[in-house]
Amino acid sequence: MSVTTRRMQDLTVDDHTLTVPLVWGDAADTRTIDVHASVVTREGGETLPYLVFLQGGPGHEAPRPFHSPVSPSWLDDALAHHRVVLLDQRGTGRSTPVGDADLARPDLAEYLTHLRADAIVRDCEALRAHLGADTWSVLGQSFGGFTALAYLSTDAAALDDVYITGGLSAIGRHPDEVYTLTYDKMRAASERYYRRFPHHRDAVRRLADLASTGSLVLPGGEVASASRVRSIGSLLGSNDGWQTLWALLELDPSTNAFAHDLAAAMPYDARNPLYAVIHESSYADGHATRWSAERVEPADFRDDPTLLTGEHVRREWFDTVPVLEPWRDVALAVADHEWPSVYDAAAVAASDAHGAAAVYVNDVYVPLEFSLETAALLPGVTPWITSEHEHNGLRAGGVLPRLIDLAHGRRVR
């Protein structure tokens, strides 16, 4: 265990690092990892209750706290009520991160199976005990919300208020059902975009034609396939992502600017390979995924290259994307892994959880329909169902104060 302290104007940041088991509950497995969290306190808030933030992903670390202005954008609102715990989920950031150096590990695929939401909950409980907190609240964004549901499945008594933004996952559903719905969401998002900018449909069609002839070569050496080009639709999952998409499609594809901007616009990059390798596992509630998003791709998406895709990982990318190619065998093994259930619907329903959840009507990543099913299990968690934001509403601003007000019965305008 180690603790260091730094100060930024009226903020104090205590960095905690704990050594925990890689495999919780198996005393015979002696492997360990480090788990890191930054605890942020505003001057005068030293006795406020804790709020642990669970980041989206999977495979991304928590945001780093800064001052002037306070960052991330929601942190200022959270600090008015809490000391905020920014956890780097296992495998990310400073929590024994997974990267290319780990490709030499003979047990890597098996190792990655221990980085799921249920293990992250165990890490949270170890951290809560380390901080001496009897209970704390949780804020889960996207995959962090999935992890909050796993928390309610096993350790609901540890949680005070539960805040979830774009993260009411499907419970008890097959990943094929989820990805089928996400294609419906991306079809609708694509058509909304083209209604605003009809000429960009032809622009995307030209890019697909260029990709089919191997003519789109990116700065890192990737020869972008048509499926990779279409993944720029992931931009439509954020409030202002359409602006990035518009600016990209206005560029001449033969220019350096276009090549660099296209590379930046596509999801699943070299910085966080874990995101691509274990992404589908986040929807694996008792199932192997076996490239679910690829298998359930609708016929109209196969026939129409202008229908953009979102968080739909494809097996072929591990053969064609240079930064993902080294991860091919690991990704194939993880896709065939029979994941145990991560949620207990009966325990979630019996948890008596209290809080509020932002459910985004047009969410292209976490479908509304299954979010509402899960919300029905949580009568004490007030849903705010809105089309005001896309999936990144928490970062866009204004969401957390509304959820806090809803959870505590204050009038919301």
pLDDT at 169: 97
Give the residue-averaged pLDDT of 171-178. 97
Give the residue-averaged pLDDT of 127-153. 98
Per-residue pLDDT band for 410 (boundaries 50, 70, 90) equals: low
The residue among 232, 234, 341 whose CA lies nearest residue 281 is 341
First to last CA, the chain: 45
CA 101-106-112 angle, to 5 degrees, is 70
pLDDT tens digit sequence for 329-370 = 999 999 999 999 999 999 999 999 999 999 999 999 999 999
pLDDT tens digit sequence for 45-72 = 999 999 999 999 999 999 999 887 888 9
Domains of the chain plus CATH, in order, are: 2-172+341-407 (3.40.50.1820), 175-335 (no CATH)
Please, what sign has the CA dihedral across residues 121, 235, 322, 205? positive
Coil, strand or helix at 104: helix
| Number of separate helices (H) and strands (E) present in the chain | 18, 9
The residue assigned the tokens 């639709």 is 233
Burial 197-212 (b: 16+ CB within 10 A, else e): eeebbebbeebbebbe
Task: Write down the mean pLDDT value for the chain.
Answer: 96
Q: Residue type at 218?
A: L
Distance in angstroms (rounded) separating the CA atoms of residues 203 and 269: 24
Give 142's contacts (C-beta < 8 A, 6+ positions apart): 56, 57, 165, 166, 167, 365, 366, 391
The residue among 177, 183, 193 whose CA lies nearest residue 283 is 177
pLDDT tens digit sequence for 215-228 = 999 999 999 999 99
Least confident of 31-35, 67-71, 205-209, 258-262: 67-71
